[in-house]
Amino acid sequence: MLFNSIDFAIFLPLVFLIYWFVTGKNLKIQNLFILAASYVFYAWWDWRFLSLIAFSTVLDYFIGQFLLKTEEQKKRKILLWISITVNLSFLGVFKYFNFFADTFVQAFSLFGREIRVESLKVILPVGISFYTFQTLSYSIDVYKRKLVPTKDFVAFASFVAFFPQLVAGPIERAVNLLPQFFVKRKFDYNSAVDGLRQMLWGFFKKMVIADRCAEYANQIFNNSDQYSGLVLFMGAVFFAFQIYGDFSGYSDIAIGVSRLFGFNLKRNFAFPYFSRDIAEFWRRWHISLSTWFRDYVYISLGGNRGSKIMQIRNILIVFIVSGFWHGANWTFICWGLVNALFFLPLMLTKKNRNHLDIVAAGSVLPGFGDFLRISFTFIITTLAWVFFRAENMSHAFSYLSGIFSPSILTYTPFDDSWRILMTIGLILFFVVFEWIGRRGEYAIEKLFFGYNRFVRLGFYYLILILIFVSGGTQQTFIYFQF
Amino acid sequence: MEKINNKKQVLKFLGRIFLFLLPVILLAYPADVFISKNLEKSVVHVAGEMIVWTDIYDGKINADIAIYGSSRAWVHFSPSILEDSLNLPAYNFGMDGLNFTFQYFRHKQYLKYNKKPKYIIISGDLFFFEEEDGFYNYSQIMPYMLFNSDYFKNRETFKVYNMFSYFIPLYRYSGQNSEILRALIYALGLEREKPYRVKGYMGQDLQWTGDFEKAQKEKKQIEVNINEKIKALFERFIEECQADGIKVIIVYSPEYAGYREFVANRNQITDTYKSIAEKYNLTFLDYSEDSISYDIGNFYNATHMNKRGSEMFTAKFASDIKGIIK
């Protein structure tokens, strides 16, 4: 079920009313209801893949129970590896099998050997990478004794399948989300209103910014040989806003919806396009995934300890695996590698933690230096997105060479110039309010709080009108495919 | 006590949401009417289709000759030439890019709100019986479909809309900024363009575009499917017309001669027209071999004549049917 669908507009109020008015008296029943609602939410897309979530849930639940009872380190390690192997096998089969098969065939053909490997015609289960990482983190944390495994199966299953964040994150850690299923939920009026506000901004990001930018990004990327360098660069910028609006919009809606039910999810985006270097960008972009890789891969590999070579190796592995997590295509691997190459100079010169606080924290506008740094970071990030969006590597390279051609100063006009101007205007509107609200958890968290409440309400109505009038054609969320 | 507080808080929350949404709920219907009423008056929106729909719903159509078909009908048959020649009022209902399923719906609406015609000219084309993938120019029905049972009953035809579009004011306009903008332009009196169609027709003052050559580069030939349901619907339509005393004439207007080989099963389609005409004892006039078809100067693409070609054709056609139309 898509957040931006009429189905969800019916589903959410129904679940909300039953949750608070019917099941509110009993925590166990409330958790069971969340589980049922979450499974309905997922089954709306394809009920057959519920079995995968159910299997992962049962597996990691029992792995947790066995880990609780097992003191012997060797046995504990075996249990952990069972969890890792089974979970990653599902991911491997559904997401990566065809990629490895194709790569294998191509590698052999380089040596003049033709081999045949049957491709699997499988549908990629929505959100498999998200819930797999979520359950994996549970097993790993239990193994590391950071978490006491729960005996409450319903609570655990609800944690794995919690519908607001099931298909596109934020990837929650059991240490944060699971305990919330054991505490009697109290409806907090202010928190719920804040949740609604965050949802409103999330819908704006998705339906106005992302979906409108998608129209142009798709048009330009799909016909890249017909456009000048300047338009190709514009296409990459449209995609940069599309993916940010799409994914951070989803996260905002997920966090907001969770608040309506008395849950607090982790923040997933912190104004990444205002970053002053790529290291800061990666601390602000898809935070739940970056910290997952940091905690479970980077630190396990040794982190920043050891020789320079080892540090470089660790960074390269983390970024490449992170790219590969996004999809079974060399373009994603290359996207990860490019970001690693942007990041490494900062790490080697120990400048990767220069910018920990938000830019211009104490002033209205950034200094000239910060402005240049933000612009530079945005441009290199945007160029890296070309790999992420391109169909294949040759498309990515031809797109980039198109940008860096003499036509970089030539504008190819579009048929509907008023519409593209409107989209650019909306992007500017968006950036201005993101800038104004950059000190908050999300842009409009405290916007117009010092003003008359009608000013604030007026702004919310404006956002509603913009969503209604300017919302692009309904599109699915990009991160569903991951 | 906590439970009561919880419920109170939730009710307070729901009450505030309701208050916040109340202006939206109250204004949704008037806003919908505002957009719809202005949009339906636009003389240029959706290539002039609104003019035809509005004429239908205003009951303004007083035609003895009605022309049905797709874009080929729309740009090929000039009602004013027919009127001058035959001395009978005519109207062109050609629907750009749409097959007979949509044309049939428009036919029913036309008969419901207007005097019935004496003659219906069916302008044949090769895609007449083919099932549509979507609904080309889908926004043409937006102003009329809210709370309209005729549209709701035919919702299978208008698949791009879900059922909420028929019952929730403004819902179908969400994200349709071209439509909202066009309504505003009309409301503010800023629509200065000339009507895109007159009595449903607009001759295209265009030269050969070269689109056909591009299509040939992409594909050597195409095959068009005949959908049996659409064919059956067409036969039902003929039976209804005959029962109603309306005479149906099927016409295959000229197409560029070089195009004939492009559609692999062209003969199968034209034979379908012939066999239906024979079955129901209808006149079938085939102009695909006419001299107009051999002059590229009469066309702007392979299946559409330009103004020069269409006026030449309509004059010829009017003279040919003088004996049939009395």
Q: Indicate which CATH number applies to the domain containing B121.
A: 3.40.50.1110
In a domain, B203, yes or no: yes
pLDDT single digits (tens) A100-141: 777 777 777 777 666 666 655 667 788 888 999 999 999 999
Determine the structural domain holding residue A256 and report its residue range: 190-276+355-481
Q: What distance, in Å, lies between the first and last C-alpha atoms of chain A?
A: 16
pLDDT in the model for residue A97: 74
- H or E stretch including B16? helix B2-39
Same domain, A79 and A165: yes
Same domain, A121 and A23: yes
Q: Any chain B CB within 8 A of the CB of A6?
A: yes
A477 has pLDDT over 90? no
Determine the structural domain holding residue B179 and report its residue range: 2-321
Chain B residues in contact with A193 by the CB 8 A cut-off are 13, 16
Size of interface A-B (CB pairs under 8 A): 50
Domain boundary among A185, A211, A244: A185
Q: Any chain B CB within 8 A of the CB of A189?
A: yes
pLDDT in the model for residue A480: 60
Same domain, A177 and A272: no
Q: Any chain A CB within 8 A of the CB of B134?
A: no
Please count the CA atoms within 13 angstroms of the CA of A306 that sit on its side-chain side: 14
Domain boundary among A185, A212, A228: A185
Chain A residues in contact with B173 by the CB 8 A cut-off are 468
Mean pLDDT along residues A244-258: 96
* DSSP code, position B252: E
- How many domains does chain B contain in total? 1
- How many domains does chain A contain in total? 2
Among candidates A25, A189, A469 on the partner chain, residue whose Cβ is nearest the Cβ of B9 = A189
In a domain, A386, yes or no: yes
Mean pLDDT along residues A183-199: 94
Same domain, A268 and A175: no
pLDDT in the model for residue A283: 96
Among candidates B9, B164, B180 on the partner chain, residue whose Cβ is nearest the Cβ of A469 = B180
Model confidence at A340, in pLDDT bands (50, 70, 90)? Answer: very high
Nearest residue of A to residue B35, measured between CA atoms: A469
pLDDT in the model for residue A6: 85
Q: Distance between CA A125 and CA A158 in Å, rounded?
A: 19
Model confidence at A474, in pLDDT bands (50, 70, 90)? Answer: low
Query: Predicted ipTM?
Result: 0.84
Question: B13 to chain A, minimum CA–CA distance in Å?
Answer: 6
* DSSP code, position B198: B
Q: Distance between CA B276 and CA B269 in Å, rounded?
A: 11
Known catalytic residues of A are 326
Q: Distance between CA A115 and CA B299 in Å, rounded?
A: 53
In a domain, A310, yes or no: no
Model confidence at A370, in pLDDT bands (50, 70, 90)? Answer: very high
Pick A193 or A98 by higher pLDDT: A193
Same domain, A90 and A232: no
pLDDT in the model for residue A482: 56
Residue from B5, B7, B8, B13 to probe the interface with A (highest A Cβ count within 10 Å): B13
**What's the token pair of residue A295?**
């905690």
In a domain, B326, yes or no: no
Same domain, A194 and A180: no
In a domain, A410, yes or no: yes
**What's the token pair of residue B248?**
């149906």
Question: A184 to chain B, minimum CA–CA distance in Å?
Answer: 11
pLDDT single digits (tens) B56-68: 999 999 999 999 9
Q: Any chain B CB within 8 A of the CB of A21?
A: yes
In a domain, B311, yes or no: yes
In a domain, B79, yes or no: yes
pLDDT in the model for residue A94: 81
Percent share of chain A, pLDDT over 90: 73
Question: A203 to chain B, minimum CA–CA distance in Å?
Answer: 13
Same domain, A264 and A410: yes
- The candidate with the shortest Cα–Cα distance to A248, out of A218, A209, A276, is A209
Q: Any chain A CB within 8 A of the CB of B214?
A: no
The burial class, CB within 10 Å (0-12 / 13-18 / 19+), for A218 is middle
pLDDT in the model for residue B3: 59
Same domain, A158 and A74: yes
Mean pLDDT (chain A) is 91
